[in-house]
Amino acid sequence: MKAICVASLSMLLAVAVSVAEEPKTKAPTGAFTRKAGDFELTFTFQKEMKLNFLMKNQGGDGMKFESTYTLDKEGKLELTIVKAEKIGEFQDVPEKGTKYSFKIAMKEKKLFLSELKGEHTENAKDLVEGEYEPSK
């Protein structure tokens, strides 16, 4: 009887450990682009949890930034801008240290971005959130 109890407890513990070790969402690799309105937006996921972003309008004005990020198992990405640069006459370039977060999901090689949060994101949600195609 004691052996059955020990075996049962061992199985329960093994199940609990396997549930607790749920795999994390994998970070995407490569570049993903979206056209929204007059803008083209590109996220480039690099090694060592680095993410670059480039946004340009048809006139060539825009911005770019480099950031570091973390990604949790639910797909929530939190980034901190390390360097930002204005391109042309574009306004509203975020400062170094600015933090943003959003959810990401990969489906059929496409990147889906949702739930954008952070400073001055109210007007950016429609532009940034949505489906991104792998860049060629």
Dump pLDDT digits (tens) for 81-91.
999 999 999 98
User: For residue 88, which of 43, 57, 126 has the smallest C-alpha distance?
Assistant: 57
pLDDT of res. 57: 95
Q: Which fold has domain 25-134?
A: Lipocalin (2.40.128)
pLDDT of res. 3: 46
pLDDT of res. 24: 58
Instruction: Please name the residue that has the structure tokens 């996220």.
Output: 43
**pLDDT at residue 122 greater than cutoff 50:** yes
Residue 128 zone, left/alpha/beta (φ > 0; ψ -120 to 50; rest) = alpha
pTM of the model: 0.80
Domain positions in the chain: 25-134
8 A C-beta contact, residue 40 and residue 34: yes
pLDDT of res. 12: 38
When pLDDT is averaged across residues 7-20 and rounded to a whole number, the result is 41
Q: How many angstroms separate the CA atoms of 61 and 56, rounded?
A: 5
User: Which amino acid, one-letter code, is at 8?
Assistant: S
Phi first, then psi: give them for residue 128, nearest 5 degrees: -90, -40
**pLDDT at residue 8 greater than cutoff 60:** no
Element (H, E) at 56: strand 50-57
Instruction: For the chain, state the CA radius of gyration.
Output: 20
When pLDDT is averaged across residues 7-14 and rounded to a whole number, the result is 42
Q: Which residue has the higher pLDDT, 92 or 43?
A: 43
| Position 123 confidence tier, pLDDT thresholds 50, 70, 90 | confident
CA distances from 118 to 10, 65, 97 (A): 45, 15, 12
Q: How many angstroms separate the CA atoms of 116 and 109, rounded?
A: 21
